[in-house]
Amino acid sequence: MSDDDSAVARERVIESMEQSAEVYGLSRSAGRIYGVLYFASGTLSIPELVEETGYAKSTVSNVTRTLSRIGLIHRRSSAGGGRRVQFEAEREVWFILQDVFQQYIQREVQTTLRTIRRAEEQVPPDAREQEPIQNLRETYEDLEEIVQLASEYSAAELREALETYEQ
Amino acid sequence: MSDDDSAVARERVIESMEQSAEVYGLSRSAGRIYGVLYFASGTLSIPELVEETGYAKSTVSNVTRTLSRIGLIHRRSSAGGGRRVQFEAEREVWFILQDVFQQYIQREVQTTLRTIRRAEEQVPPDAREQEPIQNLRETYEDLEEIVQLASEYSAAELREALETYEQ
DNA sequence: TGGTTTGTTCGGATTGAGCCGAACAAACAG
DNA sequence: CTGTTTGTTCGGCTCAATCCGAACAAACCA
C-alpha cells in the first residue's frame, strides 16, 4: 500500500516538525498545524485545521495567530465564499528558518548588546569589571554582524560563502 | 560611588545573562550562576556560589552539573585544600555560543534530516507528498552544511567570511 | 573518634505553559 | 428574523520545569 506509506511518511515528518517547534521555542501544536498546512495543497480554514489536527478550535485560533505573526503561515482573508479566514503555509523553508532565527536570536542579541553597552559606559575604566564586560561586548558585536549578514543571504549563498572562505 | 556603579553594571549584565539563558533553553539559575562565575576572579566552590547567588545548595549542585556537561563552566577538582570542587567559567564567549548552538541546533538539524531522509525513501516518487519532502530535505542539507562549517570558525573568521562574500 | 563541611539525591511546593470547553460576538443563509 | 457557521476570548485543568529543604553519604578536621 504505497498510499499508506505516503501517509506514514507524512506523519513522520509532521512529528519531526512538532519536535523542531519545541526546540525553537514554539509549541507542539504549532509544529503540527504548520506541518498540516505545509503538506496541504492550497489553503485550509480553521474548522478544517481542527478536523486535521484534532486540536480544539480555540487552540487553532491562538496558534494560527502566533504563526501568522512570526511569518510561518499566511492569513488569506477571502472576501467572498462561505468560510472566512484561510491559512496557507510559507513553503520556502529557508524563509521560515530565518523568521524563527530572527525572532529568537536576533532580538536576543540586540537587547543583550544594548544592556552590555550601557553597563560598559557605567563602569570606570580601571574597575575589575571593565575587562570582562568589554570582552563580552566585542564578541556580541561580532555576533550581531554575523546574524545580520546571515539573515540577508539565501541558504545556497550562505553555504557558498562559508565553503569558499579559506584562509 | 564608582564602586556602586560597577556593582550595578555587573548586576545588569548578569540579569541579561539570566534572560539569555532562558532564550537558549537553560534556566534562569543557570544564567546567574554562569554570570557570577564569569565575573569572579578565579574559581568558586559550591558554598561560595550559594552565598553569591542566593540559590539553595541543591540547585547549585544540579545547575553546575548541567553547565559542566554543556561546557559553559569547568569543574576543577582540587585534590588538596579544604574545599573540594571548584568551578571556573569558560570566558571565551564565542566557545559558549558554539556549545549552546551545537547542543540545540546541530542536534536538531541532524535528527530532523535523518527523519526526512527516511520519509523520502518511503514515499513513492509519484506521490503528492514527494515534492514537499524533497524540498524540505534539500534546505536542511544546506542548513546542516552551514551549521557544520559555522561551528568550525571563530567569530572573527565567520564575520569576515560573510563580509567578504559579494557576488 | 566525633563533629563539621561539602556534595548529591530525593520528595514536595510553586509556577507557568499548553490545551480545552464554554461563552460570546459577528457574519452569513434560509 | 431565526439558524448556523465561524472566530475570538475567557477561565480552568493538567503537566512539566524550577527551585527548595531535608536526608543522606563522604571527606575532612580536631
ipTM value, please give it. Answer: 0.91
- Written as nine digits, the cell of A79 is 472576501
Between chains, do A165 and B164 touch, taking CB under 8 Å as contact? yes
- Length of chain B in terms of residues written: 167
- Beta strands A85-89 and A44-45 are antiparallel
Closest chain B C-alpha to A138 CA, distance in angstroms: 10
Q: What is the pLDDT of residues B16-47, one digit of tens each?
A: 999 999 999 999 999 999 999 999 999 999 99
Give B5's pLDDT tier (boundaries 50, 70, 90): confident
Residue A56 CA and nucleotide C19 C1' are separated, in Å, by 8
Residue A115 CA and nucleotide C9 C1' are separated, in Å, by 38
Give the per-residue pLDDT at B79: 52
Handedness of CA B112, B125, A38, A161 (dihedral sign): positive
Q: How far is CA A64 from CA A16, A72, B87, in A?
A: 19, 9, 45
pLDDT tens, per residue, chain A with 167 residues:
577 889 999 999 999 999 999 999 999 999 999 999 999 999 999 999 999 999 999 999 999 999 999 999 999 976 554 568 999 999 999 999 999 988 889 999 999 999 999 999 999 999 999 999 999 999 999 999 999 999 999 999 999 999 999 76
Answer whether any strand C atom is within 7 A of the Cβ of A27. yes
Of the candidates A9, A118, A161, the beta carbon closest to that of B161 is on A161
Q: What are phi and psi of B75, to 5 degrees?
A: -95, 115
Q: How far is CA B66 from CA A16, A74, B28, B56, in A?
A: 26, 39, 13, 16
Which residues touch A78 (CB under 8 Å, ≥6 apart)? A84, A85, A86
